[in-house]
Amino acid sequence: MSNTPIIEVQHITKRFKGLTAVKDVSFSIREGAITGMIGPNGAGKSTTFNMICGYYPPTEGKIFFRGQDITDKKAHEYTKMKIARTFQIMKPLKNLSVLENVVASCYFGHAAAKSEREARERAMEILEFTGLFDKRHILSKDMGTPDQKRLEMARALATKPELLFLDENMAGLNPAETEAAIELIRQINRSGVTIFLIEHIMQAVVSLCEEVIVLHHGEKIAEGTPEQVMNDPYVMEVYLGTKGGAAHA
């Protein structure tokens, strides 16, 4: 793996009118790794995430992707740069079948399918990989939360990303479903995709991430391996302390 980070975030700040949601946050994401971001509700995780994904630009600061300044790139330009994302609140194309959902994604991004046949074939492969193959003819609105979360990932993967952003992909899953989702994320990572995820479920963060960034009140308060972060006294106080002892190992 190369030493230059795949994503480098430099001093980003986001202000919504008077409210400062994220204040002077800097960190980097190592290529090939799984990096996680945690923090209590309202810590600014999603805001940070949305800035990196081009959903809105930071008020101050810069974001680099492989050394290239992408701060002002629009959301729809990301898949061309081999970056894909999922949404915390699932956004399935409700009135389309699962297959059509993924076919739509196959048509766009840096490796956009040239023909309907190619798009359908690739969609089938991805449905197989994400375990949705048997449900391909169901309307996506008729599926439950775990499958919709999987569909979010399948749609992102269909654009053939090298960097995947997952926004709370395991929220609302039971332990068995969480385990399956963790396994899927590992598989995606093993296939060569760098992953950056926001997660509330500590079990997932601890078992998946090599590096963890902790946000609190819009500021970065710690970063390091999961063990380092968990043993950080300040983190224990503001995050794990408030969530109760059951949340961490």
- Under the binding rule (CB under 8 A), the answer on residue 61 touching other proteins is no
List CB contacts of 237: < 8 A, sequence separation 6 or more.
none
CA dihedral 67, 69, 71, 73 (to 10 degrees): -110
Q: Report d(CA 226, CA 150) in Å as an integer.
A: 25
**203-237 burial, b for 16+ CB within 10 Å, e for fewer?**
bbbbbbbebbbbbbebebbbbbebeebbebeebbe
**Pick from 112, 138, 171, 236: which binds other proteins (CB under 8 A)?**
112
**Pick from 11, 42, 94, 242: which binds other proteins (CB under 8 A)?**
94
- Under the binding rule (CB under 8 A), the answer on residue 70 touching other proteins is no
Q: Report d(CA 42, CA 168) in Å as an integer.
A: 14
Stretch binding other proteins (CB under 8 A), from 20-28, 83-91, 197-205, 234-242 = 83-91
- Under the binding rule (CB under 8 A), the answer on residue 78 touching other proteins is yes
In the complex, least distance from residue 235 CB atom to other proteins, rounded to whole angstroms: 31
**Pick from 8, 64, 108, 203: which binds other proteins (CB under 8 A)?**
108
Helix (H) or strand (E) holding 24: strand 19-29
- Under the binding rule (CB under 8 A), the answer on residue 100 touching other proteins is yes
- Under the binding rule (CB under 8 A), the answer on residue 104 touching other proteins is yes
Task: Specify the residue for token string 């929220």.
Answer: 171
Q: Dihedrals φ, ψ of 112, to 5°?
A: -55, 135
- Under the binding rule (CB under 8 A), the answer on residue 43 touching other proteins is no
In the complex, least distance from residue 27 CB atom to other proteins, rounded to whole angstroms: 22
First to last CA, the chain: 30
- Under the binding rule (CB under 8 A), the answer on residue 105 touching other proteins is yes
**Pick from 20, 59, 60, 93: which binds other proteins (CB under 8 A)?**
93
Q: Report d(CA 170, CA 184) in Å as an integer.
A: 11
Q: Give the residue from 142, 184, 134 showing the smallest Cα distance to 164.
A: 184
Stretch binding other proteins (CB under 8 A), from 11-19, 118-126, 208-216, 228-236 = 118-126
Ranges within 153-172 binding other proteins (CB under 8 A): 155-156, 158-159
Total residues in contact with other proteins, by rule CB under 8 A: 37
Ranges within 6-35 binding other proteins (CB under 8 A): none
Task: Specify the residue for token string 């079990």.
Answer: 203
Q: Can you give the binding site for other proteins, defined by CB under 8 A?
A: 53, 55, 74-80, 84-87, 91-96, 100, 103-105, 107-109, 112, 116-117, 120-121, 124, 137, 155-156, 158-159
